């Protein structure tokens, strides 16, 4: 789209109240656990207390003997013969021969009340034979580590690799050794990050119903109702179209609600209980033990830098465990880690390693924060050594449109340089710091994603519009889609209602993931609105007796395109809609595609910290997020994404971690000890929205959800070094580890 | 286990229900009375999503037994608006985009209302520490704190 | 689970003494309900003490001290101006327990009976020289607070016994106390280390002191050596260093998910110094 089409907008870029705001401030909005059904049963899940154990026997007789207990399911109630990721999902839903992690589901029970279901679950006797386990990625990759699953490696893994390596990658370009030889300084460092959880406040909840005829329904909190449908039906051996999945309002997801956990259990229990609906609501400890946290990582990075700030070569070798199944985002981490830099010589090596932990799920820019922690930390340390300004170094090497990315493809229009320049200009950078205070800077990257998208739009009889989208609204996407639709149709924001619909109402949609909802559903809604406009112009043309091409759409009305088209007063959308029944019937538009034109988003964060040298505690004094949004459709919700991403990154950097005891059991499965930031931990989070419009979207949208979690990890590490002179290479940078580093330095 | 008959007042309405003594007040509000605005995020008093007022005191309803509600006055998010008129906090939360997923919002609103009744002119720090028991994972708290401070300013003006 | 609402402590004690299964008393409920919800402890008999007359009262005793009812929540303790003026360290210890919401329910008695070595309100009570009135099926006795916890999650109370009041001594003149804890976040965590200091001055000189540490041993620990380090001094740097060394030396902590042995030992000394300075300035008349 040509630049001159980025005209002044009436609605895009404004900050109206979100359409679902009233429901959400009054308690009326219905989330996963808020729905009940007549005749409903409650489900509860029996979970392995062992990190790795053979399941010798499961005896449900005591549970089934209780009045009101209606069904117990085990793996025997699920079909055999699944392969690939379908098998992984089934095995993760309910353990087969072995329990693979603490919290792995082993059986489930349905009863007439929640308390009874929980009591029955405690009465299901499971006999285990405990097996050796492995938790840490560096232990899991050892040749003699306990084997999680023989034969799980894919074709990418060369002969002779340790048994828990299931994917291997090795890619790059140029000659890194030659590049290192050109450098004035070459440094190599190792880094580690621990697994963290998305930490959405709403635990997983679903209400599933499945009859003996194979037809079912489900109400569920999810980022993607079609993914729930596809995965549940695969695990249960059903036809996808026979399961209707309705998404509830969703209490946060951050990637963690793009897959299934206990949803197939509710369907299996329902079928076994004669088709009665079964509700399952996870407890917080179930969420932390048995849903999908992100991977933990062990990383080696080597970089060559010239005195003038030019990066001559870079190499990364990352090892990640993503639980007892393949899928750690080591590939994404490698793609993103050097993405901000224009490199001639670059090499990447990655290992996806199995361990006795829950199957990882997506978490906001999966992989990118770990890679950034390693690379941005090392670059900062090298800038210090060569006395180079870290922002200037980044500007010197920054990628721009047309550059080949570190991982291969050429960049289209991107805004990294504009982002770095806006950072440089921000007043926070000139605030003087006191003793034990420090400032850290880091950049970050996320690709953004398109994905399968279906949207339909219908004009109502009064000239208002309804849009049906398949992407659940996690953080204001109804508002942004309504703004773009209204802008396109030339009607009021309030005249558009955006509905997030069930699987029976639209074609396939990928979830709200990959920062795609406003980009993909938004683009599809604009295209669908264009179809409706074309039809409305046609109807006006018919009434006026002129050619449809002679009609244009301006400010919500059809009008003759020029003096040659004749003199007709504009015909408004309400006039056209009011007589749609007499002029050809319903007026609508729809669009189905994998929308082209994704625009990547770069960000740069600046954090000021103070470290208490006597206790090692780090306090965030000030925080700045600068990021390219392409265009901010609803700037308040763009700022919200930036602030939320930063807050999650701060938690990851300072205090959040999966902590396991020596038996491989999760030691902190509650919010008391899985320490996400609280209100008093954080300052206000300053934001700058950079707008380098994405030419691949009708309003220039890039997608803004994920990049913001990437820079905080290294930015805070860099600030801690600036404050007290210790380099923290292992997250979290908790008070105990910082104090230990200070003591070790002496 | 036999159930206990409980008579109580919720948002000004006399209600009664039968509670298993093991059930929390949150369970009873949600599953016995259909008041699902109060949310369970943790069940351990660490997230505040189930915040309600019990005889005026701000509590986590997951840390109160249903049977303890006997003879008490309970206020929940469902009683916060005056009919169709939103409480200033509710309005300011929408205006400031102080919610993203909205799941923590009812608990935060109930807690913030209790703060402003006690302290009509809180500092940013006072708001942050008062709300430290209300976890929000979406917003980074920035817009929540601004909305509370703005609502407080408006309410002071109205009161003046 | 049977739910009881006795109207006297004697009745409560008798119900407990007559029970055969798992019994729990309900004061604030912020620990009992968490254990119940998690399925960790599902009592057969739950004895709710909040219907007993006087359990919400804070009353001046004949000797100038205080008697605090077992159901007084943190928020009520914090709102009691006279008590806060005399025992700010005791009050601030209680106020650090959990969130605002938890403060609406949690009690000193519950925090003590939960038996956690990290209980935030207990070091302040121990430093204050507080005691508790214990009611049993056979009558009452008074026990020093530091003698109640007997190990993590355990108390010295006998079957059927329960605490029926917390008793604080008269504060007297030129005295102050303070409690500090270290947590990773700014709120909502369990203490990694806690330290309370209570002292009395004659002029600039400390004449009496009690120092108690939390989360560094199986029970909250009174540390006489730490107190001796500052008695007779004007809390100069040398005295503070001795205090810190004595506090650290008294630590016998564990490595766990919340902290390491090295960190707890080191920070116990840091907190002891900081708390002593606050207590000293309060004894000097500073109300902060």
* Of B6, B47, B18, B106, residue with least CA distance to A115: B18
* Of A496, A589, A709, A604, residue with least CA distance to A12: A496
Q: What is the CA A291 to chain-centroid distance, rounded?
A: 14
CA distance to partner chain B, nearest, from residue C209 (Å): 31
Q: What is the CA A127 to chain-centroid distance, rounded?
A: 37
My answer on whether omega of the bond before A732 falls inside 30° of 0, hence cis, is yes
In this prediction, residue A562 carries a pLDDT of 85
The rounded distance, in Å, linking the Cα atoms of C9 and A518 is 62
Per DSSP, the residues of A54-68 read EEEEEE-HHHHTSTT
Write out residues 27-56 of B within 8 Å (CB-CB) of C: 43-46, 48, 51, 54
Establish if A678 touches chain B: CB-CB under 8 angstroms.
yes
Domain ranges of chain B: 4-79, 88-159
* Of A624, A639, A642, residue with least CA distance to A719: A624
Q: pLDDT tens digits, residue range B72-128?
A: 999 999 999 999 999 999 999 999 999 999 999 999 999 999 999 999 999 999 999
CA distance to partner chain A, nearest, from residue C254 (Å): 13
The rounded distance, in Å, linking the Cα atoms of A595 and A521 is 9
CA distance to partner chain B, nearest, from residue A439 (Å): 20
Establish if A497 touches chain C: CB-CB under 8 angstroms.
no
Collapsing DSSP states into helix, strand and coil, what is residue A462?
A: coil
CATH superfamily of C175-283: CO dehydrogenase flavoprotein, C-terminal domain (3.30.390.50)
Establish if A673 touches chain C: CB-CB under 8 angstroms.
yes
A500 phi and psi angles, rounded to 5 deg: -90, 120
Q: Do B137 and A29 touch (CB under 8 A)?
A: no
Domain ranges of chain C: 175-283
Chains that touch C (3 or more CB pairs under 8 A): A, B
In this prediction, residue A566 carries a pLDDT of 86
In this prediction, residue A380 carries a pLDDT of 98
Residues of B in contact with A22 (CB under 8 A): 86, 94
Residue C117 gets which letter from DSSP? T
Instruction: Indicate the average pLDDT of chain A.
Output: 97
Read off the tokens for A417: 């340089």
Read off the tokens for A132: 């050796």
Collapsing DSSP states into helix, strand and coil, what is residue B147?
A: helix
Read off the tokens for C95: 């106020």
In this prediction, residue A552 carries a pLDDT of 97
Residues of A in contact with C194 (CB under 8 A): none
Instruction: Indicate the average pLDDT of chain C.
Output: 96
Q: In chain B, count H helices and then E strands.
A: 5, 5
The rounded distance, in Å, linking the Cα atoms of C183 and A654 is 12
Other C-beta atoms within 10 Å of A192: how many?
18
Query: CB–CB of A356/A164 below 8 Å?
Result: no
Beta-bridge mates of residue C142: C133
The rounded distance, in Å, linking the Cα atoms of A462 and A197 is 47
Which residues fall within 8 angstroms of residue A414, CB to CB, at 6 or more apart?
A399, A400, A401, A599, A600, A602, A628, A692
The rounded distance, in Å, linking the Cα atoms of A720 and A611 is 7
In this prediction, residue C288 carries a pLDDT of 53
Q: Do A668 and C257 touch (CB under 8 A)?
A: yes
The rounded distance, in Å, linking the Cα atoms of C30 and A391 is 49
Tell me if ipTM is over 0.95.
yes
In this prediction, residue A3 carries a pLDDT of 44
Q: pLDDT tens digits, residue range A339-349?
A: 999 999 999 99
Q: What angle do CA A374, A376, A379 make, to 5 degrees?
A: 105
* Alpha-carbon separation of residue C20 from A36, A75, A721, A728, C16 (angstroms): 38, 39, 59, 54, 8
Torsion of CA C148, C150, C155, C157, to 10 degrees: -70
Establish if B131 touches chain C: CB-CB under 8 angstroms.
yes
Q: What angle do CA A96, A102, A103 make, to 5 degrees?
A: 75
Query: CB–CB of A430/A712 below 8 Å?
Result: no
The rounded distance, in Å, linking the Cα atoms of A731 and A650 is 11
Per DSSP, the residues of C120-174 read TTHHHHHHHT-EEEEEETTEEEEEEGGGSEEETTEESPPTT-EEEEEEEPP--SS
Among positive and negative, which fits the CA dihedral A46, A50, A51, A57? negative
C194's enclosing H/E stretch is strand C193-202
In this prediction, residue A2 carries a pLDDT of 40
Which residues fall within 8 angstroms of residue A511, CB to CB, at 6 or more apart?
A222, A223, A224, A226, A227, A257, A258, A451, A471, A472
Strands C66-68 and C58-60: antiparallel
Fold held by B88-159: DNA polymerase; domain 1 (1.10.150)
Banded pLDDT at B2 (limits 50, 70, 90): confident
The rounded distance, in Å, linking the Cα atoms of C123 and C185 is 20
B100 phi and psi angles, rounded to 5 deg: -115, -75
The rounded distance, in Å, linking the Cα atoms of C99 and B132 is 6
In this prediction, residue A541 carries a pLDDT of 97
End-to-end CA gap in chain B:
54
The rounded distance, in Å, linking the Cα atoms of C85 and C132 is 21
Q: Do C33 and B130 touch (CB under 8 A)?
A: no
Q: Do C189 and A675 touch (CB under 8 A)?
A: yes
The rounded distance, in Å, linking the Cα atoms of B27 and B32 is 7
The rounded distance, in Å, linking the Cα atoms of C253 and B149 is 42
- Which spans in A323-363 are helix H? 330-337
The average pLDDT across B131-140 equals 98
Read off the tokens for A1: 């789209």
Domains of chain A in start order, with CATH, are: 3-28+450-593 (3.30.365.10), 367-448+599-745 (3.30.365.10)
Pick the CATH number of B4-79 from 3.10.20.30, 3.40.50.620, 1.25.40.10, 2.30.300.10: 3.10.20.30
The rounded distance, in Å, linking the Cα atoms of A242 and A214 is 7
In this prediction, residue A4 carries a pLDDT of 43
A232 phi and psi angles, rounded to 5 deg: -65, -45
Nearest CA in chain C to A734: C184
The rounded distance, in Å, linking the Cα atoms of C251 and C261 is 9
Q: pLDDT tens digits, residue range A625-671?
A: 999 999 999 999 999 999 999 999 999 999 999 999 999 999 999 99
Nearest CA in chain C to B40: C37
Chains that touch A (3 or more CB pairs under 8 A): B, C
Q: Do C263 and A740 touch (CB under 8 A)?
A: yes
The average pLDDT across C3-11 equals 97
Query: CB–CB of C166/C70 below 8 Å?
Result: yes
**What's the number of CA atoms in the CB half-sphere (13 Å) around residue A90?**
22
Q: What angle do CA C58, C62, C65 make, to 5 degrees?
A: 55
Read off the tokens for A396: 């010197």
Residues of A in contact with C256 (CB under 8 A): 667
Residues of A in contact with B77 (CB under 8 A): 26-27
Q: List, for chain A, all residue ranges whose pLDDT scores fall below the cut of 70.
A: 1-7
Q: Do C101 and B68 touch (CB under 8 A)?
A: no
Give the percent of chain A with pLDDT over 70. Answer: 99
The average pLDDT across C79-100 equals 97
């Amino acid at each position: 789209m040509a630049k001159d089409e980025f005209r002044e907008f009436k609605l895009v870029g404004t900050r109206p109240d979100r359409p679902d705001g009233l429901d959400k401030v009054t308690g009326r909005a219905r989330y996963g656990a808020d729905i009940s059904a007549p005749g409903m049963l409650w489900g509860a899940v029996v979970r392995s207390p062992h990190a790795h154990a053979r399941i010798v026997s499961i005896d449900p007789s005591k549970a089934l003997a209780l009045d009101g207990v209606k069904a117990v399911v085990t793996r025997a109630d699920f079909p055999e013969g699944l392969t690939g990721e379908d098998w992984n999902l089934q095995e993760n839903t309910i353990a087969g021969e072995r329990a693979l992690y603490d919290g792995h589901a082993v059986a489930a029970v349905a009863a007439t009340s929640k308390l009874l279901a929980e009591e029955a679950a405690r009465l299901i006797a499971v006999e285990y034979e405990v097996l050796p386990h492995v938790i840490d990625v560096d232990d899991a990759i050892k040749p003699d580590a306990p084997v999680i699953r023989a034969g799980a490696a894919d074709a990418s893994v060369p002969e002779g690799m340790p048994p828990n390596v299931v994917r291997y990658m090795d890619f790059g370009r140029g000659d890194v050794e030659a590049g290192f030889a050109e450098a004035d300084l070459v440094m190599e460092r190792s880094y580690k990050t621990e697994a963290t959880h998305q930490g959405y406040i709403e635990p997983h909840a679903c209400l599933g119903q499945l009859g003996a005829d194979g037809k079912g329904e489900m109400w569920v909190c999810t980022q993607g109702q079609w993914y729930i449908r596809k995965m549940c039906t695969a695990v249960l051996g059903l036809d996808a179209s026979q399961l209707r999945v309705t998404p509830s309002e969703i209490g946060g997801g951050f990637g963690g609600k793009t897959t299934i956990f206990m949803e197939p259990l509710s369907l299996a229990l329902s079928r076994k209980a004669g088709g009665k609906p079964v509700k399952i609501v996870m407890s917080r400890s179930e969420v932390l033990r048995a849903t999908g946290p992100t991977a933990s990582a062990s990383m080696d990075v080597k970089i060559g830098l010239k005195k003038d700030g030019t990066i001559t070569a870079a190499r990364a070798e990352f090892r990640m465990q993503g639980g007892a199944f393949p899928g750690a985002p080591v590939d994404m981490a490698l793609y993103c880690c050097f993405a901000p830099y224009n490199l001639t010589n670059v090499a990447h090596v990655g290992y996806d390693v199995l361990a006795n932990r829950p199957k990882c799920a997506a978490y906001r820019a999966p992989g990118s924060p770990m890679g950034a922690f390693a690379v941005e930390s090392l670059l900062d340390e090298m800038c210090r050594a060569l006395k180079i300004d870290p922002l200037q170094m980044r500007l010197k090497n920054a990628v721009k449109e047309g550059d080949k990315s570190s991982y291969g493809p050429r960049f289209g229009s991107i805004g990294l340089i504009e982002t770095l320049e806006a950072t440089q200009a921000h007043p926070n950078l000139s605030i003087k710091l006191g003793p034990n205070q420090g400032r850290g800077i880091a950049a970050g990257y996320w690709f953004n994603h398109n994905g399968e998208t279906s949207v339909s739009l219908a004009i109502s009889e009064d000239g208002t519009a309804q849009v049906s989208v398949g992407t659940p609204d996690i953080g204001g996407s109804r508002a942004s889609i309504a703004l773009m639709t209204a802008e396109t149709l030339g009607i009021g924001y309030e005249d558009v209602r955006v509905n997030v619909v069930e699987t029976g109402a639209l074609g396939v949609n990928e979830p709200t993931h990959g920062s795609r909802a406003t980009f993909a559903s938004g683009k599809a809604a604009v295209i669908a609105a264009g179809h409706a406009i074309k039809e409305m112009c046609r109807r006006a043309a018919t009434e006026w007796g002129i050619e449809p091409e002679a009609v244009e759409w301006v400010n919500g009305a059809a009008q003759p395109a020029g003096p040659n088209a004749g003199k007709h007063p504009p015909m408004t959308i309400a006039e056209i809609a009011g007589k749609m029944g007499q002029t050809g019937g319903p007026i609508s538009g729809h669009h189905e595609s994998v929308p082209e034109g994704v625009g990547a988003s770069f960000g740069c964060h600046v954090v000021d910290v103070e470290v208490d040298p006597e206790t090692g505690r780090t306090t965030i004094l000030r925080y700045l997020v600068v990021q390219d949004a392409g265009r901010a459709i609803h700037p308040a919700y763009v700022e919200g994404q930036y602030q939320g991403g930063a807050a999650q990154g701060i938690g990851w950097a300072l205090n959040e971690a999966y902590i396991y005891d020596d038996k491989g059991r999760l030691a902190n499965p509650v919010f008391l000890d899985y320490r996400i930031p609280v209100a008093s931990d954080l300052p206000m989070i300053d934001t700058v929205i950079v707008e380098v419009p994405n030419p691949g979207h009708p309003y220039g949208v890039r997608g803004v959800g994920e990049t913001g979690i990437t820079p905080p990890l290294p930015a805070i590490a860099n600030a801690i070094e600036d404050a007290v002179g210790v380099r923290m290479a292992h997250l979290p940078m908790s008070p105990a580890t910082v104090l230990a580093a200070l003591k070790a330095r002496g | 286990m036999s159930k206990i008959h409980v008579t109580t007042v919720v948002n000004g309405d006399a209600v009664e229900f039968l509670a298993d003594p093991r059930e929390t007040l949150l369970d009873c509000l949600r599953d016995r009375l259909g008041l699902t605005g109060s949310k369970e995020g943790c069940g351990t008093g660490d997230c505040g999503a189930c915040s309600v007022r019990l005889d005026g005191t701000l509590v986590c309803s997951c840390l109160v037994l249903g049977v303890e509600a006997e003879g008490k006055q309970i206020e929940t998010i469902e009683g916060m608006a005056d009919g169709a008129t939103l409480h200033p906090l509710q309005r300011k939360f929408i205006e400031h985009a102080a919610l993203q997923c909205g799941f923590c919002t009812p608990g935060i609103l109930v807690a913030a209302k209790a703060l402003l009744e006690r302290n009509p002119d809180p500092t940013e720090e006072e708001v942050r520490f008062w709300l430290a028991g209300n976890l929000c994972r979406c917003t980074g708290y920035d817009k929540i704190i601004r909305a509370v401070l703005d609502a407080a300013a408006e309410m002071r003006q109205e009161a003046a | 689970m049977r739910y009881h609402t006795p109207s006297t402590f004697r009745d409560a004690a008798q119900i407990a003494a007559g029970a055969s299964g798992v019994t729990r008393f309900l004061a604030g409920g912020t620990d009992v309900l968490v254990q119940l919800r998690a399925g960790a402890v599902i009592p057969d008999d739950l004895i709710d003490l909040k219907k007993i007359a006087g359990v919400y009262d804070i009353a001046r005793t004949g000797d100038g001290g205080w008697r605090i009812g077992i159901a007084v929540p943190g928020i009520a303790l914090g709102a009691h101006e006279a008590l806060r003026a005399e025992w700010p360290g005791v009050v601030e210890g209680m106020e650090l327990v959990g969130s605002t919401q938890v403060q609406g329910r949690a009690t000193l008695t519950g925090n003590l009976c939960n038996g956690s070595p990290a209980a935030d309100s207990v070091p302040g009570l121990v430093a204050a020289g507080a005691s508790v009135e214990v009611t049993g099926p056979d009558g009452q006795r008074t026990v020093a607070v530091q003698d109640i916890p007997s190990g993590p999650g355990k108390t010295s109370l006998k079957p059927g016994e329960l605490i029926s009041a917390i008793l604080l001594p008269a504060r007297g003149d030129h005295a102050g106390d303070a409690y500090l804890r270290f947590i990773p976040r700014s709120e909502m965590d369990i203490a990694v280390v806690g330290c309370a200091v209570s002292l009395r001055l004659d002029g600039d000189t400390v004449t009496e002191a009690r120092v108690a540490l939390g989360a560094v041993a199986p029970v909250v620990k009174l540390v006489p050596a730490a107190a001796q380090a500052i008695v007779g001094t004007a809390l100069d740097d040398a005295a503070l260093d001795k205090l810190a060394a004595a506090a650290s030396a008294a630590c016998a902590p564990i490595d766990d998910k919340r902290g390491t042995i090295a960190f707890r030992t080191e920070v116990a000394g840091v907190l002891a110094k900081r708390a002593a300075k606050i207590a000293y300035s309060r004894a000097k008349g500073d109300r902060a």
